[in-house]
Amino acid sequence: MDNQNNKNSNKDNFVNKYNNDNNTFEHDSKLPNDIFVTPWEVQGKLGEENYAKLMEKFGTQAISTELIEKIKKITGEIHPLIKFHYFFSHRDFDWLLNKYENGESFYLYTGRGPSGLIHMGHILPWLFTRYMQDKFKSKLLFQITDDEKFLYNPDLDRDKIAEYTYENILDVIAIGFKPELTKIIVDTKHIKHLYPIATEIAKKITFSTAKAVFGFTTMTNIGMIGFPPIQAAPCFLPSIIEKKPTPVLIPAAIDQDPYWRITRDVAEKLGFYKPAQIHSKFLPGLSNSSKMSSSKPETAIFTTDEPEIVEKKVLSSFTGGQPTIDLQKKLGANANICPVFWYLKYFFDSEKASTERYYRCKSGNLLCGECKNQLAEKSKEFIIEFKKRREKARDKITDFMFE
Ligand code: TRP
């Protein structure tokens, strides 16, 4: 086909490193011991240096200045989530843009595992995906992996998963995707469209590779072991729908990367393009931890939270501040570790406002109360508006379903 990036075929390293026959997932020496990233669990505090290590470990590329210039050339602007490095890494995004410039349109593909309600951390990549859909008039496949979450989570039964599936779909629609360009795939409902291609993929992946890439052990339930081709399948579905090789771009958090590695490994053997990715960081939780977590509801702002609750959560957030006002005025505070700063930056501040905030904070001229109040107000407004859209979504579900 054409020169898609092959440098990332470091699957072999993975296999060698992890190809042990005992039941443990050996920790990767490139990452500190308290950091653990799989598609189902992210533990530890991820700072800049750890994101760089993840890129190295996964064999992805940083979003370079040249790439940013290229995006700017095509769209005339740079989305803040790229400019602020929330999307920080990619594979073949440059290749995809070349294709686009040569007249080949691409699909977007992203998804959600319905294991709980939606919080602000989840919607950030979706807002970007919507922006991409608007800019490039791309069709979007949105997969809901109800099977994956049922299989993974011992505490979730099928009824609970069905409830989250419904609730999550309302959020997806509320994002504002174009119904005529968007199809939601619910795995257990639309499996017949995925299954033929999933079996083709599955046939090309050994247990040894799956173990190495995903950290499966011999104690993992076999549903989980068989699941990855189901998440890989929508990468190739566009080519089947369009009846010609069709480029696909996946905006997703970096923890989903193992899926794309195995998909890319089999793509050319099956006659498809390798899917391109653009990887995001995680939005920090409001506590002093790595990402916003549904399992700790007080540290995340849910789209279903009442405004008073949003306010309360924000006002009791962890910050990068000093223990006392006097100390803060004297020593300044640390915006880099402050979730309030990052929420404001990613969701609400202009570039200029955010830079000013950063320096006022650092110099001790800005106190945490002020930032918290601003974030509380802005996120309340945001959630109130989002909830209205979510209510309207109830009547639109059939318009968005794959069939
Ligand atoms: N596995 C993802 C999750 O747990 C859901 C998902 C399916 C997904 N397909 C995707 C996420 C494509 C991003 C891109 O949330």
pLDDT, tens digit (0-9, with 9 covering 90-100), for 291-333: 556 667 788 999 999 999 999 999 999 999 999 999 999 999 9
The predicted pLDDT at position 324 comes to 95
User: Which protein residues are within 6 Å of ligand 1, measured from CB?
Assistant: 39, 109-113, 143, 145, 148, 231, 250, 252, 256
The predicted pLDDT at position 26 comes to 45
- Mean pLDDT confidence for 206-230: 96
- Mean pLDDT confidence for 378-386: 98
pLDDT at 165 over 70: yes
111 Cα to the center of ligand 1, angstroms:
4
253 Cα to the center of ligand 1, angstroms:
9
Cα(101)–Cα(94) distance, integer angstroms? 11
- Mean pLDDT confidence for 109-116: 97
248 Cα to the center of ligand 1, angstroms:
15
List the one residue out of 64, 202, 203, 79 whose CA is nearest residue 132: 79
Ligand 1 atom at shortest distance from the alpha carbon of 40: 4
- Please, what is the Cα angle at 208 between 257 and 13, to 5 degrees? 60
The predicted pLDDT at position 6 comes to 62
Q: Which of 64-73, 278-287, 393-402 has the lowest mean pLDDT?
A: 278-287
Cα(240)–Cα(237) distance, integer angstroms? 5
Question: Got the DSSP string for 36-79?
Answer: EEETTEEES---HHHHHHHHHHHT-EE--HHHHHHHHHHHSS--
The predicted pLDDT at position 7 comes to 53
The per-residue pLDDT of the chain, averaged, comes to 91
Task: Tell me if residue 222 falls in helix, strand or coil.
Answer: helix
Q: Which of 30-34, 135-139, 272-276 has the lowest mean pLDDT?
A: 30-34
The amino acid sitting at 214 is F
Q: Please give the DSSP secondary-structure letter assigned to residue 346.
A: I
